[in-house]
Amino acid sequence: MKKEKSGFGATLGRVWSQYSFIFVLIIIMIGYGFTIRSNGNTFKWSHIAAILSSQNTVIVGTIALGMAFVIITGQIDLSVGSSLVLVTGVTIMVFNVTNSILLMVLAALVTGALCGAINGLLVGLGKMPPFVVTLGTMLIYRSLTLSFVRKIDKAISGSSSSQFAMISNNSKYEFLRMKFGTGKLSFGGFSLPYIFFVFLFMAILFIVISKNTKYGKTIYAVGSNEKSARLAGINVTWVKISVFILTGICVGVASILQACKIGNVTPASSGVSYEMYAIASVVLAGVNMAGGKGNMVGVIFGALAYTTINFIIVSIPGLSVDIQDTFQGLVLIIVILIQTVGPVIRENIRRSKMRKLAAAEKRA
């Protein structure tokens, strides 16, 4: 039996390989603290609360949970930003017409699941590449929503411009927008936004599914080796379809948060690049883009890390808006490079030691 290495270096290496997302978030948060101080301000709880209530945390983070499952199975979904626009449009219209929170929630979840099912069926049953399928539906979902919002009765869309907006005259508007969407839970001098708890609940749910259910294990099995998963009796086609449906449900939950936090959605501009943001959060979480590996706990940290990177870039004085995406991309590449290079270096060191040991045994 191979003896496991001990010592501080080996222990640190194992901890880093399993929980790199925690260290990455800490490093990024320290960087954000220095940025705040360089602007002559003090890093306070309000800065953390702003991160927790940010769209990139609660909305993109919720979508990233489903995206993580898709990526773990070795697939990709580029349609989530556009489907968020479509689903939020339906969600807001149902609220405007019915003034019912229950029907609004059901409409969001069902429409999101249908969008995900279309992707899943084309990939799973149609055997089409997920990149091509979701690239196509990305264009379709946004285009249909944009065309529809320009033709629908303004009394239903809730806005005279090309957007869907919640009607403030509805009796449930005050609760959804002011109490829930922008409200906070205060305790001991601290406060946390209500919508963050929705993201946290969804994260815990997906963590439980991934770690404590047979279905969760099949997701990792399909991503690790699809052929072996089939031989083991796993319905690979269904697993592939189901993860897209789950992602669609996550989009449905995100659309509720979008409606409650923002109060509207603009098909031409809302959700643009959210698929990239979600993928970035998943990668920061340490999920292997090749599939088969990834800790769902890390998605929480990945979403927070990506949001904090965004806040750092916005906080840099004199940085042009035109160049912000460049810095965002560079920071992301550097962080991922650190995460990926570490295991490669360790593996090269291990192989070098094994070769030296083998050579020493031969000489002996």
- Residue 6 exposure: Cα atoms within 13 Å on the Cβ side: 1
- Provide the pLDDT for residue 2: 47
* 3-state percent breakdown (helix, strand, coil) of the chain, nearest 5: 75, 5, 25
- Report the distance separating Cα 234 and Cα 221, nearest Å: 9
For tokens 């969008």, the residue is 115
**Residue 66's closest CA among 83, 82, 80?**
80
Average pLDDT in the 282-297 region?
Answer: 87
**8 A C-beta contact, residue 284 and residue 102:** no
HSE of 141, CA atoms in CB hemisphere, 13 A? 31
Question: Could you tell me if 76 and 130 are in contact, meaning their C-beta atoms sit under 8 angstroms apart?
Answer: yes
Over the stretch 249-269, which tens digit does the pLDDT of each residue have? 999 999 999 999 999 999 999
The arithmetic mean of pLDDT across residues 48-65, rounded, is 92
pLDDT score, position 191: 83
Q: Which pLDDT tens digit goes with each residue over 36-49?
A: 988 888 888 888 88
Overall average pLDDT of the 295-307 stretch: 92
Calpha distance 232→220 (Å, rounded): 13
331-to-261, 267, 286 alpha-carbon distances in Å: 28, 29, 15
**Beta-carbon contacts of residue 128 (< 8 Å; ≥ 6 apart):** 122
pLDDT in tens, 122-180: 999 999 999 999 999 999 999 999 999 989 999 999 988 889 999 999 999 999 998 99
Tokens for 264, please give them: 């509207």
Percentage of the chain lying above the pLDDT 90 cut:
59
pLDDT of residue 186 exceeding 90, the answer is: no
For the stretch 300-304, contacts whose Cβ atoms lie closer than 8 Å and that sit 24 or more positions apart, written own/partner, are 300/61, 300/200, 300/203, 301/21, 301/22, 301/24, 301/25, 302/21, 302/64, 303/56, 303/57, 303/60, 303/61, 303/64, 303/199, 304/25, 304/51, 304/52, 304/57, 304/61
Q: What is the percent of the chain where pLDDT is above 70?
A: 92
Kindly report the average pLDDT of the chain as a whole number.
89
Residue ranges with strand state E in 152-297: 164-165, 184-187, 190-193, 264-265
pLDDT of 344:
67
Q: Which pLDDT band, with edges at 50, 70 and 90, does 282 fall under?
A: very high
Domain extent listing, the chain: 59-298
346 compared with 331, residue with greater pLDDT:
331
pLDDT at residue 93 tops 90: yes
Please enumerate in sequence order all residues whose Cβ is within 8 A of that of 233, keeping only pairs 6 or more positions apart, or say none. none
pLDDT category at 334 given cuts 50, 70, 90 is: confident
Calculate mean pLDDT across residues 106-113: 98
25 forms beta bridges with none
Determine the Cα–Cα distance for residues 59 and 62; give it in Å rounded to an integer. 5
Can you give the pLDDT at residue 321?
Answer: 76
Dist. CA 7–CA 113, nearest whole Å: 49
From 163, 139, 168, select the one nearest 89 (Cα to Cα): 163
- For the segment 192-227, what is each residue's pLDDT rounded down to a tens digit? 889 999 999 999 999 999 999 999 999 999 999 999
- Please tell me the distance from the alpha carbon of residue 105 to that of residue 93, in angstroms, as a whole number: 12
**10 — pLDDT class (breaks 50, 70, 90):** low
Whole-number pLDDT of residue 345: 67
- pLDDT at residue 135 in the model: 96
**What tokens appear for 263 in the block?**
């109060």
pLDDT of 17 above 70: no
Give CA separation, 50 vs 54, 160, 307, 329, in Å: 6, 31, 10, 22
Q: What's the average model confidence in pLDDT over 331-356? A: 73
**333, pLDDT greater than 90:** no
